[in-house]
Amino acid sequence: DIQLTQSPSFLSASVGDRVTFTCRASQGIGIYLAWYQQKLGKAPKLLIYAASTLQSGVPSRFSGSGSGTEFTLTISSLQPEDFATYYCQHLSSYPITFGQGTRLEIK
């Protein structure tokens, strides 16, 4: 199984900050990676797919990059509604797996 390791596990930041999350895969997955945002008690929301493609309707302050084993999600200027947990997920092979998540909180 492909393991996805996200870092950091927890991040405290302020509105307007630029933040970057990392997702590392245990083996190469090309660009078969997505990022999701999940707020407490809600379903996940697709933000980025194919490593760097912005999902329709997602604000342009979100961006993704990477390929192979290392990927990043960047939020260029944090807004109050961005405080949530972020998960990476791969679609390279079965089983589909998620990272353990990065919880983003307001400083």
Partner 1 sequence: EVQLVESGGGLVQPGGSLRLSCAASGFTFSDHYMDWFRQAPGKGLEWVARSRNRASSYTTEYAASVKGRFIISRDDSKNSLYLQMNSLKTEDTAVYFCGRGNMATRYFDNWGQGTLVTVSS
Residues that bind partner 1 (CB under 8 A): 34, 36, 38, 42-46, 49-50, 53, 55, 87, 89, 91, 94-101
Strand order in the sheet with 10-13: 10-13, 102-106, 85-90, 33-38, 45-49, 53-54
Torsion over CA: 31, 32, 38, 43 (sign): positive
Q: Measured from the CB atom, is 16 or 95 closer to partner 1? A: 95
Shortest distance, position 33 Cβ to partner 1, whole Å: 9
Q: Which two tokens stand for residue 78?
A: 């944090």
Quick one: 44 or 68, whose CB is closer to partner 1? 44
| Closest CB 100 distance from partner 1, rounded Å | 5
- Closer to partner 1 at the Cβ: 17 or 54? 54
Q: What is the Cα–Cα distance from 71 to 98, expressed in whole angstroms?
A: 13
Q: How far is the CB of 24 from partner 1 (least distance, A)?
A: 16
**Nearer to partner 1 (CB atom), residue 17 or residue 65:** 65
Nearest distance, CB of residue 9 and partner 1, angstroms: 10
Beta-bridged to residue 20, according to DSSP, are: 74
